[in-house]
Structures are given as C-alpha cells and as structure tokens.
Structure 1
Amino acid sequence: MTSIQPGTSDAFLICKFGGSSVANPDNWSRIADHVSDRMASGQRVVIIVSALKGITDLLEAQTRVETRQPADAVCNEVRQRHHALLEKLGLATDLLDSELARLGELLDQDADPDDPAWQARIVGMGELLSSQLATACLQARGIAAERLDSRDILTSQANPRRSRRAEYLSAECRTTPDPQVQRRLSDLQPVVVMPGFVAANAAGETVLLGRGGSDTSATLIAALLGAEQVHIFSDVPGLFTADPRHIPAARLLKLVSYREAQELAAMGARALHPRALIPAADNGIELHLKQTSRPDIEGTRITPDAREHGAQVKAIVQRKGITLVSLEDIGMWQQVGFLADAFAVFRDMGLSVDQVSTSESNVTLTLDPGANVTDARTLDELERRLSRLCRVEILPDCATVSLVGLGIRTILHRLGPALEVFEQRRIYQVSQAANDLNLTFVVESRHADRLVQQLHQQVIPGGVGGDSIFGPTWEQLFRRDAEVKPARPWWSEQREELLERLSGHDSAYVYSLACVRAACTRLKSMQSVDRVLYSMKANSHPDILRTVVASGLGIECVSTAEAEHALNSVDGLDPSAMLLTPNFIPRSEYRKALELGMRLTIDNLHILEQWGSDFAGRELFLRLDPGSGLGHHKLVRTAGSHSKFGIPLSELDRVQRLADAHDIRIVGLHAHTGSGILHADNWHRSLETLGEAARQLGEVEVINLGGGLGVPDRSDGQPLDITALDGGLARLRQQLSQPVEIWIEPGRYVVSEAGVLLARVTQTKGKGDVRYIGVATGMNSLIRPALYGAWHEIVNLTRLDEAGDHVYNVVGPICETGDILGLDRLLPESREGDVMLIANTGAYGAAMASRYNLRDPARELVIS
C-alpha cells in the first residue's frame, strides 16, 4: 500500500459508499484498492459511509408506535449484523461496543417517542457505527485512515418556515469552501472516514439530512473542502433510463447535465439523492456514479461540462408513496387570495409542495415524502386546516410516472402514440414542468410499474451504446454476472429435440403438452374456483384441447365453429358442459348453439329485444361491462365505453324486464376486463361488481370472472400470484349475499408458455448502425408484435450457450414495414441456417395466423 504523510497534499477526493457496499465484506478489498490508487495519485481521500443496509430501516421502525419492538431485541439485531460483518472482515467484535452501548441507552430512555430530536439521535446511529467499522477495516489493510465525526463540520441552518420534525429529520445545510476546515483535514491522516446522513444544528444536537442523505453529506463536504470530484459508489453503476431492477432493457446514461440529473433524482431515480445536486451545481463539482462491485464499468458522469443535447427523453422514472391533495370548491372561482390562503396552510405546517395544477374550481397538488414528513397525524391535521377553505380529498397511495429529458414540450407530438399506455388508467394529475425537463402523470401506485415498462419500450432508443449519452443496457452489463439464475424454460432443456423436430422445415410452432398440464394443475388447485374453462380461441390444436379436457378443464368458445371443432377433437365431450360466449354473431348461430345444447352467454340487449322468443324457457348467462378494462394494449381491453363487449351495469333493470317477458332465467353473470393482466386484484374487483349485480337479479347461480390471466413477457418476470388470487376470491366469496359457483376461463395462461415458434435464419443485413436478422416466417405466423406491440423473448437456439454480443432487429419475409418480430435484441453473431426461437407463442400465435402474401404460416408440432 502507498503511504502518504499528513499535510503533503491539499487535493481532496470525496468517495461515498452506500449501505449495500459497506455491508458486503467482499467489497472492502475493492474499496481499499480504490483508496490506494487515489492516494498514489497524490490525493487526500475523504470517505463518507452510509449505515449497513437495513440498519436505518430497523432503527426508524423504533420511532413508530405500530412497528416498535423491545429495545433489547433491536440492540441485539443491530449488534448481530455488525458482529457478523466484523468476523468476516477479521476484525475484533468488541470494536463497536461503546457505540452499541450508547444505542441501548438511547432506546431505553424514557423519551417522547414522537420527539424528532430523539428520533434523529436513534436513526443516525447506523452511520456512526459503520464509520467506525470502516475506519478499522482500512487501517487493518495498511491504509492511514482516521475517523472524523461529520457533525463537527456540518451545521444545519434553521428555517422558521419548516416544521420542527423537518428541522431534525430532514435538515438543510449550506456550505462553501472553508479554508479552516481544509486546514483541519489536511492535518489529519491522508484518509478520513466520516459518517453520512448526520449533521448538527446550531445547538450541537444531532440532525438528519433526510433519507438518502449520505449523498448530500458527500457533496456538502466536497464544497467545504473545495474538492473537484465526488465519487458515489452504490449497488448500481449510475443513472439508467429506468429502474434496471424492473426493466433489464434500461440503458446506462453515461453523461448527464446537472439540470437533467437533478430532475432524474427528484422524479425518482434511486442512484442519487436530489439534494446532493445542489452543492455540486453551486460549486461546479463533478460527480461520478459507479458500482462498488464492478468498478470496471464506466458509470455516469454528472458534470458542468456536459453539453445540452437536443430535445430527447432520457429516462422514464417513478416515485411511489406520493400524497395527492385535491382542493375543490366552485366558490374559489375568481376569488382573490384563495391560493395564498391555501398555500399558507402548507407553509405554516412546514410542508413543501411538489407539483401543482389549477383550474377555476380545483387545485391539485402533490407532496413528496422525500421532502416532507407525511405521517397520518400530519395529513389529518392538514385536512382539518384546509377544510376551512374548501372540500379536501387526500390520497396517500399515489405514484408519479415521469418522462424526463431536455425540451419535453417540443417533442410532445412525437410522444403522442406512446401516451396511449395511459388509456384505461385513472390519471389524477398531469404536469408539464416549467423548466421543460419533465412530463409527469400522477396515477395509482399499483399501475406505476407497468406504465414505466410500456413507456420505456416505446420511447427510449434501443442499441448497445456508441454515443455520448446512452450506454449499454443493464442486461448487457450483467447478463453473465447475474447472482440468481431464473428457472430455465422448458425449451432450453429440450433444445436438441426441438432442433430435431424442425429438421426438414423452415418454421414451425412446437407445443409442450407437459407445460399445458402444469398450467392446468395450477389452475385446478384454486380452492375458491368451482370450475375452470379453457378459452380455446387462444389455441385450438386438437392435442391441446384433449390435454386440457383430460386435466379437468371445460371448454369456452366464441363461435359455433369452435364448438364443433372441439366436439370433433375430444371424444365424449358433452356440449352441455361447454360455454359459448359470442359477440355480434348472427341469429342463426345462436339457434345452432341451442340445438347443440350448449350454455349461452349474451352481451347485447338487441338479442332479448328482437330474438327473445328463441330463448323462451331457457337459462342464460349475461356478459356485463364492469366499466373499465385492463391489459397490455388497448386492443385487448374488453371493458369500458370504447369496447364493443358487454351490457352496461346501468341496463340491468331493463334486462330483467325483458327476461321476465320471455320466461328466461338469468342464472350466470360474466365479465372479462382484458388480457395479459398480472394483478390479482383485477378479478377481486370483478367479483365484487358481479356479486352486487347478482344480488340485484336474484336467481344467479354462477359468477364467471372471465380470463385474462397474464404470463410475464420475460422468463425472469414476476408471474401472476395464483395463491393471492385464490385467497382474495375466497375472502370475497364469503361476503356475497347469496351462494354462487365461481368460474374462470383462461386461455393465454394455459398455453402461452407451452408454445414456441421456430424459424430458420434466411439472411442477415446491416444498414448503418442497425443490424437485421431475417427469418423464414413473420407476421403471417405471429402477428402479435405488429398488432399489439407484444414483446416475445427471442434466442438463437442453434447458439443458445453463446453470449449475446450484437444487437439485431428480427424480421420476417412479409412485404410490410410492420413485419417485425423483435427490435433491439442482444444475440450472438447469427448466420444463415441458424434456428431462432420465439418464446411464449402458444397463445394467439397459430390461432391468428394467415396466408398474407400467399405465404403459408408455420406448421404446428407437438411434444407430448
């Protein structure tokens, strides 16, 4: 190790290490190497550390009555975690005894648990412990390191407009270069370790810089010392175009301006706290965001030298836990001073307003929990005060979804198609930032993840980097280094058999009946569901129909042609055990279904008004429109006024009168909201809606919740939680006003993962920076990408074990620009004759195929 004597250099480098970094014993050799390299270049290094991952959460839980545990239990947990790390690092476990004893004394104090001063002392202990541990660890590696309490040099400024809680738990500091502080640190060891997150007020009491405040500690101290750079190390290598933990296609942002970085951090990017940008921008400090475990990755540079690029969306980010406040009163129209009175309430309570939108009779605004203490007590008091002025609604469980980048308003016309993803989502507020850096939507928290995923796919350019802004994707950076390998899909285990089955053919669908049976078994395990029907429009292959019936599922169809096909394919299938759910079919088809003896669902009053005599004395199901639909694309949402399906709930009385007039019994109710849904509460809401309709109609015996059970696009995606779906339905079923059977009718869920489309590579091509792989079939076999923008995983089955090192667009032979099976896919170098596999194509693949261009679609094969 290099040794530098105290006082030999005044060039300071600030390095901050996050909680995940310091908690991993394997990182400390990397940290020591980085520090040694900087010392060798003549720099003095100041290290800022966060608390070990999870410690701050544990301590913060002690400040809330509902999560508080016995003091001894918390102390033991904190001690155990630190001792475990000390042992792995080869350090004495009694090293932290004095600090741990101090924590025990604080927890045992007979203090007011709501006192923010006491809370600050408790929650800040994590950094005091980790900084002492970090100092000892570096010293043990031969580095001349010394600990300095950051409360000795960081002092918060009092602000009479902020609440007492905010002054202690989200304190503000302002710093400029201070020669006295610089001389003080120059007289210490070449490496100084300091706790992040904590500072002191003018009275010397401990205050906190808000959650994520260690980033702010680093830039504040850099400003004090006149440092030119701050290196922020965490468990990600920088800022990405979206949260890479949820979107593997998110791309690293290599160079970002202060303004854009501030906006990204403020709107939800987690790699950097927004407050950290203020001292950096004020003092021209360059920030380097890097990953502790992968220091070889370039990371993100935030610098005053970053030139402003043209208008472009740089990232899609979200913030959850947002509180929405709606103020409404017709009396506020043209009322002078209303806004001043309303905002005075926020000022007096020390609450910082984030986004605001106004109209003649409504003001809607948001509160960011990162800048405010928005506990239930605070919100109750806020509502009480504002209610003196107008009607108030406070919604605490919201999220913001923001498109961030320079010049947003100049490219709104280009964003139009992408904004279709918000259709069928309730939007509480839309805000276009005055600084022209973001377009933000406030929505229900539960919709945020899916909206970000859809927007990212449509707005962010694909590729592998090569420019100064967009770097490689998360998937490209970590594909070989993933710590947890997802379960291998069935087709990877049967690669050789698949290649053999394609012998002599250019393309083929191949279905695994074992995979179909497994899906049926999962569905049949649901205790709350009395009957599962397979929606055969997803895939009507005879072997699949025989497999699902043998597994105990019934058949749901949408045409009499489908019904006859099923009856011809499955020996012994009873028509009375089938359900026909058609839409806008001719009268003759209904009559044919009646002749076959099938159960029927109707979804239009015209049928009862004009053809009611055909159904006299019969039992029917009604398909109702619950009012709003869900799904991965607007064309698969099957509820709401823009969907052709279902009878509006408002027409139930009229339906009952028509049924009575023709002696028709309404024995079943049905609703289907859309396709590809991964939220279990979708069917819970449907059951609540149909349960109320059943109470109104009286004779209902069956509630059919439809299908739409989603399958993740990617093999490592989070699947639909069947257990949660089952449990929720069971609870709601007990609350129904009358006993009914519950049915579901999935299609995609049964067969999607069971099917793959194989196609041989015919040609490859390059056009500038874009590479193409042409395959033997295209949208004539699989139209979902062109029709719905559907995403299917694509692999080179021939070279399955080779790493992807090129980005391709995978296209077919059809004479249409839309004949694209996949854009920007990371694949190995592919050659003519290779076999490409397109996954999750068992549903609505062959079923929707055509002979467009007079090209035969892929044939269908089965692995039994």
Structure 2
Amino acid sequence: MTDQSLLSSRIWTVLKFGGTSVAKPENWAVIAKLAKARLKQDKPGGKVLIVHSALSGVSNRLEALPDKALNGDVSVEIAAIKAVHLDFAEAAALDGTALLASHFDTLDRLAAGIALVREASPRVRAELLALGEQMASVLGMERLRQEGLSPVLLDARDALTASSDSADASGYLSNSVIEGLDPALQAKLETADLVLTQGFIARNSRGETVLLGRGGSDTSAAYFANKLNARKLEIWTDVPGLFSADPRLTEGARLLQALSYDEAQEIATMGGKVLHPRCIGPAHRGHVPLEVRSTLRPELAGTLITSEPGDDAPQLKAVSVKTGVRIVTMEGAGMWRQAGFLADVFACFKACGVSVDLVSTSETNITVSLDPDPSLDQARLDALRARLEPFCRVKIIEDGAAVSLVGYGVRRILHKLAPALEMFQDKPIRLVSQAANDLNFTVVVDESEGRTLAARLHEELIAPAPSGPVFGPSWAELNDTAAAKPQRPTPWWATKRDQLIKLTPQTGGRYVYDLETIKARASAVAGIKSVNRAFYAMKANPHPEVLKTIFAAGLGFECVSPGELMRLKDTFPGLDPKKVLFTPNFASRHEYAAAIELGTNLTIDGLHPLTHWPDMFRGAEIILRLNPDRPRGHHQHVQTAGPKAKFGIPLDQLDAAREAAAKAGATVIGLHAHAGSGVVEANHWREIGAILARAAEGFSDIRILNVGGGLGVPESAEAPALDLSKVDAELATLKQALPDYEIWMEPGRYPVAEAGVLLSGVTQIKHAFGTRFIGLGTGMNSLIRPALYGARHEIVNLTRYDEDGTGMASIVGPICESADLLGADRLMPDTREGDVIAIAETGAYGAVMASRYNLREPADEVVI
C-alpha cells in the first residue's frame, strides 16, 4: 500500500490546542470552527479528536500550590485558580460554580491534605496538576455545545497507559505512554464523530494518575494520533509554525513550511520552543503527518512535518541558541588507550543523575555539555566532581550557550561558517559537536556571545535563502499589521516626519537631535530619587546644544579626555568643577595632573598611577574604579567588566590599591564600577552597589558608591524597555541599607540615544541572490556601531512611513567594505530612489565615532 493510499484509509484527525488557545471563551469558537471544517473536509467517515491543555497559567499555579501549602495559607492561591475558571464561565454565560463543583472540592481537599500531613508526594502532586486539564474539559465541552457541536468526553487516563510503574517522582510527574495501534480505543470511539480529551495526563497500571512532563499536551496528542492511526496531527498554538530562528533573536526568522521528522526533532531538542521534543517521536513512528498552526492566524498554512524534508539539497534550515549550558572538561594522560575509560566516566554522571547533552573527545580530553536543569544544584555538581576526580582533572564552566545549526548535509556546507566564526578568533569556543546523522552542528560559547553568534549565522547563512518549499515569509512579514504591531508611544521622529524629510541633504547624511526628547530623558534620570548625583557620559554626544539641554535638566558630566574637559569649559564658562567626573583610562600622567589642578572629581582605574606617580596625588581625594567581573552587554566591545575588560581594578587587587593610595597620601572617598551597556534589568545597579559596599568595608573615608551606568535603550518596538521607577525602587532598598553613602550614577547614552536620527536618501535598489539591498548616501563612515559591535537600530522609510512592508531588505551604505551594513533583514515598503531613510536611536555614539574613510564626508549635525 502506498503512503497516499495508507493516509486515505485513515479516518481520525487529531487537533491539539495549548493553554493560550483555550484560555478564553471566544477562542473555543475558533476551535469549533476548525473541528467543523475538518469533519466536513474528511467526509464521509471523518472523525476529529481534540486534545487540549489547561487554561493559560493554571498549570503554573497548580505546580506552585503544594510548596505554598507546606509554607502557609493557600486560600488566596486557590481562590485565584478558581477565579480563572469562573471568569471564563461568566464570560461564556455558563454556571461555573455548578459545573466545576466536584473539581473545586477535590482542589480544596488536596491542598488541605498537603497542609495537614506536611507532605506533598509526587502522587498527590500529579493528582493536583491533572485538575487543570480536567476543569478545562468541563468548560470546553459546554463551549463546543454552544457552538452547535455534540462532542463526546474522553478521560485521557482511560486511553493512555503509562509505560513505567515507577513510584518515584519521574514515574508520577514525567512518564511516557505505551505506543502502538489501539483497536480497543478505536472500537470505543467508533460511534463518535467528535471527541474531546485532555493532554498531559495518563494512568499507570495501578490506576493512579500520572503526568507526561511539562509541555506534555503535545506529546499526548502524538500518542493519540499514533494509537488511532490518524491521517494528521495538527498542533494549534499561538505562533504560525516553526521558524528558522527565535523571532526574538531576529525579525528576519523565516517560517519553515516543510520539514522532515528528523529535522523537526533536532530543532525542538536544540532549543525550539514551539514543539515539545517528545511529541515528534510517536508521530514519526506512526507515520502521522504533523502540522503546526496558529489559532491567532488560522489562515496561514504553518509547518508540515513528514518523512520528507521539503528540500533534500544540503541546506541549513534553522539556528537556535540555548543558554544556561554548563561545560564539564575532563583531562588526563591516563585516559590514553585505557579500555573502558569512557564507561567509567559516564557511570559517574549516571550515579549523580546528571544528563549529558553534547560530547567531544580526544586522546587526553573529554568535554561534555549539560542542559539547563534547575534541579542540578551545587551539591550534585560537587558530588559529580568528587566521583570524576579519581579518573581525571575536572573543570566545570558555568554560563555557556549552545548555538546549533540544523539542516541536511551540514558537513558539505561547513566552509560557509568561517565568516561568522571569525568573531571567535580571540574568544573561546568551549565545545564543537557534529551529529553523526549529518543534521546538526553545534558550538558552545560563553553565554554573552551566544545570541550574537546565532543572529550572525542566521543573517549570513539562512536569511538570504529564496522562498520555496521550505522557506516561507519572515516573522516581520507575517506580523506587519497594525493589530500585530506592539503598541508604544509614537516616536518623536514619526511626529516630526515632514520636518525631517525637509532637513535631509541631497547627498551624504545628517544627524538630527531632538532637544525635547533629550530634556525628557535627562529629566527622568535626574528624577531618580535614590541617586544623589548623575553624570552624563559626554563621549556619547558632545554637541554644545545637547550639553546645555542635559545640564539644564540637572545632570553633571563624565569626561574621559582633556578635549572633553575643554569642550565643557568652552560651553559653560565658570562651571563648578565638582559637577564634572573625570574618568581617564590608560591616559598619560599630565591628564591626571590637569584634572587635579581643575578640581574635578577624579577616578583612578588602575594601580599604575598610584604606584608610579605617587607625589601627584598627595592630598588629593580620589575614587577607585573596580572591575566586579560581572560583564554585561550584547557584545564584547560594550562590556566593561570581566577578565577581558581593560577597565577597573580587580577585586583581588583592592588591598594593594588601598595601600598604594595610603602611601601616596591620597584619600579614597568613593568606589565605582561599570559592567557594560544595554542593561534593562532594574536590579543590576543595586547588585553593583552591594558589591561596592562590601569592597568599601576596608576603607575609612569612603562616602560615595558610583554604580555606573549602561541604562538600556530599546533597539526596536518589540525590545524590552528599562523602567526607571523600578531602578529607583531597587536603589532605594540599597540606600536604606547603606544610609551613610551617596549613590552616584552615570546614565551613559540613555539621555541622548533615542533623541537622534541619521537621515539619508536612497541612492540605489539592487536584487541579488534573493536579497533586496537598499543603498544610502552614507554608511559606516557616519554610523559604525552596527559594524563595530553588531548594534541594532530601527530603520524606517520616512517617505513611505504609512505604507505596509513588502519584503525584507538589507540597508547598506556606499563604503567599500563588506561590513558597511547598517541593518539586515528589515521589513521595508516598496522603496525607490530618493526616498528618505531614517536610522533611529543614533543620538549616541554616532557622529562622535564617524570617520572620513574612503574620503567620504560623514553626516553633519543639526538640532531641532
């Protein structure tokens, strides 16, 4: 029998819907519509089985409930769980209290029992978590009836039998199911056309409820499809399929329209979040086509997964990055030609319950990676190390990132990786692994480098692929609708679009700075109540009008060179030197002397000035810059802490710095640390302050803790924004604990970045190898941030700002360098010669870093 005839003989279609898809009554109208369509489409004899998850957020609450029951009153949490379902029922005009009475009673009894006996066994936890799906089934049945359907309710535990009867935690909370055609189940459902059942739950041979692990609803649906010999399994979720990358990594991520089971398995296993890795196996073994679709966009075809790859030519299809990876390296000459050495080593991992992901071996070294595992605590790692050390030298490296490339024939295209891997010529690659099935190539790098590498690999190797059987539209193209775009305040450059178009030069480029925006951002920083003084880093933008606006808002200035000090002197004659913070780095002796003579606040970031020029500092008050070994930022060039940063005094040299300052006769009045740029976590500066406070314990005259800056600026409408009120609240906690210290801050580019745009006209349009290039009159000679450290700037066509995007494009300049790329994979409208392009968030580190490379004049500057 051919595959086609085999499929035509099947009658069941399995539809799976996740928590978001079933969370609201109106979503069930979509589910009912899909079920009706499948029943009509598959006539005569077609049947539909719907598998669903708990309502969104309910499983998380139920999972947390036992620990809360052990530690105190859970009435509030139970009320919240009930409220989710009662709110659903009320919105659907259902009597939720009556419908869910028995399940609510079970919820109360289980929680009370846990609190009474002070124990939450895995068996009880499984019963508790299973309630989420059971309660959703009750509501779902009623909603389908309201939509004119007559579903039959099937308790999944009556159909799915666990493959393990283990009484430990894994047996109850992360079991699997016996697979294979199930004539008994088929006979049981023979008279039903539409069946509703739950995901996530099954039953062991003792009749007890067991779970299939978090994300197990996908797997449940695959088991049902396998048992019923289904013609298709459709996984309905909140995204329209699998993509060539996480869309949060790049908006150029492409919809993967067709994949093989093996490819999909690799993508899911290596960090793809759309499908649970365990769900593909049962579908594969049952030869059931699997389709991933979106309930939010049901008109889209999604991703079809079968035994065929869509295109079997050597081709990369996806890149993923998995963070939180640990590396374990084992070295020793004793492993050379020693039979059974690998067995001995891996027995240690088994004994400690540690799962190994990737493996790389040589004659004297074995390196493995460990997947992120919250239960893998320091005690288990110490136990693993103790077991391994009799065999070899052991080193455990934290905070790694596994970057994986997936696609058939990886071996034949490895040479294409070279340009992207050039960024690691001075950075460690911890592990390299190539799968034996020629489907996967993975490198493990430091976590701070993972996303940058993945984005670059996607940009160079996957994004340019032409549309066809495999690659569909990009994430940006699929979401280019007003409803899909995130709501945010209209940026100033959109409000002043007409004015900016008129300011755009005929040739070259022009920076335009909006003083209203600068005033607002600087005032917001000055308004942080927990910060005593804030100093704007004028290296970001020293334009005199910018400096005046920032000073008027209440900020001081941080300078790093005599030239910047002179700019301040020219702009503000008679400026109080105490409103200036001078922070030189590897500067010559005379710069320190000039700062002391001027009377500015002075920061020392190394031992050399104190140990080699001590007479200069006699009687001076100084601040010491420390290196807290906490690098932050998306690229090495914006990280100003850690072992590779040239800034600051390492904490282990702090005693030497204190002694050197004392011998020189200088008084250390403050400590300073700056970890990097682009930080959006509000607690970061409190953590830096706590590090400085501990370091200050060995000093008698410190009154200032300078927590640095790096306040993050969103790179796009989708990027997270820093909440200054939360920063203030975090620092208030620090200040309350340290009332004797002043808190200083350096807001970096925050006051000016969003206030600037780079304008340039379109010179040419080119289409080559599936890529559209939009050329501008200026490039990296005006804006080097994208080439220097992969910075991302929002890019818009001001001339056609109200028009929809028509496709992806790379925005390039006229400089004779391949790095002259201002932005890749940007959704742009139909763009023509002469259109005005605006590159946003360029108020900082734009004009100040420009050059006359190629003897082209960089963009000039104006303020409005």
Query: CA deviation digits over 1:184-213, x for unaligned, max 9?
Result: 322x22111111111111122221111111
Residues 352-501 of structure 1: matches in 2 within 5 Å?
A: 353-355=356-358, 366=370, 374=375, 401-406=402-407, 414-415=416-417, 418=420, 433=435, 435=437, 437-439=440-442, 441=444, 454=455, 458=459, 461-462=462-463, 466-480=467-481, 481-482=483-484, 484-501=486-503
Query: CA deviation digits over 1:300-322, x for unaligned, max 9?
Result: 111101254425261214366x7
1:684 Cα offset (Å): 4.3
- TM-score, L = length of structure 1: 0.87
1:83 Cα offset (Å): 3.4
RMSD of the alignment, in Å?
3.9
From 144, 160, 184, the equivalent of 1:154 is 160
- TM-score, L = length of structure 2: 0.87
1:592 Cα offset (Å): 4.0
Kindly provide the amino acid, as one letter, of the partner of residue 32 in structure 1: A
- Check conservation: 1:670, 1:705, Cα contact below 8 A: yes
Aligned to 1:292: 295
Q: Does 1:166 align with 2:209?
A: no
Deviates more, 1:189-198 or 1:595-604: 595-604
Distance 1:71 1:525, change over 3 A: closer
Distance, in Å, in 1 between the alignment partners of 2:641 and 2:74 is: 53
Aligned to 2:5: none
From 157, 176, 179, the equivalent of 2:183 is 179
Distance 1:746 1:374, change over 3 A: closer
Distance 1:456 1:683, change over 3 A: farther
Kindly provide the amino acid, as one letter, of the partner of residue 243 in structure 2: F
Q: Does 1:512 align with 2:514?
A: yes
Distance, in Å, in 1 between the alignment partners of 2:398 and 2:79 is: 34
Distance, in Å, in 2 between the alignment partners of 1:235 and 1:226 is: 26
Kindly provide the amino acid, as one letter, of the partner of residue 638 in structure 2: V
Aligned to 1:37: 37
Residues 718-733 of structure 1: matches in 2 within 5 Å?
A: 718-732=720-734
Q: Does 1:20 align with 2:20?
A: yes
SS for the counterpart of 1:750 is coil
Distance 1:608 1:166, change over 3 A: closer
Query: CA deviation digits over 1:400-450, x for unaligned, max 9?
Result: 544141355666664466457789999987765555525264867xx6995
- Check conservation: 1:316, 1:455, Cα contact below 8 A: no
1:465 Cα offset (Å): 5.7
Kindly provide the amino acid, as one letter, of the partner of residue 542 in structure 2: S
From 79, 83, 95, the equivalent of 1:80 is 83
Distance 1:693 1:104, change over 3 A: closer
Kindly provide the amino acid, as one letter, of the partner of residue 854 in structure 1: L
Query: CA deviation digits over 1:783-836, x for unaligned, max 9?
Result: 222222221110011111111113222222333333222222211111222211
- Check conservation: 1:235, 1:293, Cα contact below 8 A: yes
Residues 649-664 of structure 1: matches in 2 within 5 Å?
A: 649-656=651-658, 658-664=660-666
SS for the counterpart of 2:25 is coil
Q: Does 1:244 align with 2:247?
A: yes
1:838 Cα offset (Å): 0.5
Query: CA deviation digits over 1:201-254, x for unaligned, max 9?
Result: 112222111111111111111111112310110111111233335654432222
Q: Does 1:310 align with 2:314?
A: yes
Distance, in Å, in 1 between the alignment partners of 2:815 and 2:368 is: 50
Aligned to 1:801: 802
Residues 94-243 of structure 1: matches in 2 within 5 Å?
A: 94-109=98-113, 113-158=119-164, 164-186=168-190, 188-243=191-246
Aligned to 1:779: 780
Aligned to 1:821: 822
SS for the counterpart of 2:751 is helix
Distance 1:375 1:423, change over 3 A: same
Q: Does 1:64 align with 2:67?
A: yes
Distance, in Å, in 1 between the alignment partners of 2:563 and 2:470 is: 55
From 265, 268, 288, the equivalent of 2:268 is 265
1:760 Cα offset (Å): 1.7
Aligned to 2:3: none
- Check conservation: 1:621, 1:668, Cα contact below 8 A: yes
- Check conservation: 1:182, 1:225, Cα contact below 8 A: yes
1:602 Cα offset (Å): 3.8
Q: Does 1:539 align with 2:538?
A: no
From 609, 618, 621, the equivalent of 2:620 is 618
Distance, in Å, in 2 between the alignment partners of 1:74 and 1:583 is: 54
Distance 1:97 1:641, change over 3 A: closer
Distance, in Å, in 2 between the alignment partners of 1:203 and 1:260 is: 37
Distance 1:542 1:453, change over 3 A: farther
Identity %: 42
SS for the counterpart of 1:677 is coil
Kindly provide the amino acid, as one letter, of the partner of residue 114 in structure 1: A
SS for the counterpart of 1:519 is helix
Aligned to 1:562: 564
Q: Does 1:671 align with 2:673?
A: yes
1:549 Cα offset (Å): 1.2
Distance 1:546 1:51, change over 3 A: same
SS for the counterpart of 1:753 is helix
SS for the counterpart of 1:748 is coil
Distance 1:195 1:636, change over 3 A: closer
1:512 Cα offset (Å): 1.4
1:89 Cα offset (Å): 3.5
Aligned to 2:706: 704
Kindly provide the amino acid, as one letter, of the partner of residue 51 in structure 1: A
Distance 1:351 1:184, change over 3 A: farther
Query: CA deviation digits over 1:353-409, x for unaligned, max 9?
Result: 54567897988663665xxx9498xx8689779867769999999675441413556
What is the total number of aligned residue pairs between the two structures?
843
- Check conservation: 1:62, 1:68, Cα contact below 8 A: no
Distance, in Å, in 2 between the alignment partners of 1:434 and 1:696 is: 56
SS for the counterpart of 2:189 is helix
- Check conservation: 1:317, 1:404, Cα contact below 8 A: no
1:140 Cα offset (Å): 3.1
Distance, in Å, in 2 between the alignment partners of 1:668 and 1:734 is: 18
Distance, in Å, in 2 between the alignment partners of 1:789 and 1:384 is: 41
SS for the counterpart of 2:192 is coil
- Check conservation: 1:241, 1:460, Cα contact below 8 A: no
Distance 1:438 1:812, change over 3 A: closer
Deviates more, 1:73-82 or 1:849-858: 73-82
SS for the counterpart of 1:822 is strand
1:350 Cα offset (Å): 7.1
Q: Which runs of 5+ in 1 are unaligned?
A: 1-7
Aligned to 1:5: none
- Check conservation: 1:580, 1:599, Cα contact below 8 A: yes
1:175 Cα offset (Å): 1.3
- Check conservation: 2:10, 2:230, Cα contact below 8 A: no
Distance, in Å, in 2 between the alignment partners of 1:103 and 1:449 is: 43
Distance 1:347 1:776, change over 3 A: closer
Distance 1:136 1:777, change over 3 A: same
Distance 1:460 1:523, change over 3 A: farther
Q: Does 1:282 align with 2:297?
A: no
Deviates more, 1:88-97 or 1:66-75: 66-75
Distance 1:304 1:563, change over 3 A: same
Deviates more, 1:23-32 or 1:559-568: 23-32
Q: Which runs of 5+ in 2 are unaligned?
A: 1-7
Distance 1:174 1:397, change over 3 A: farther
Deviates more, 1:97-106 or 1:382-391: 382-391
- Check conservation: 2:405, 2:442, Cα contact below 8 A: yes
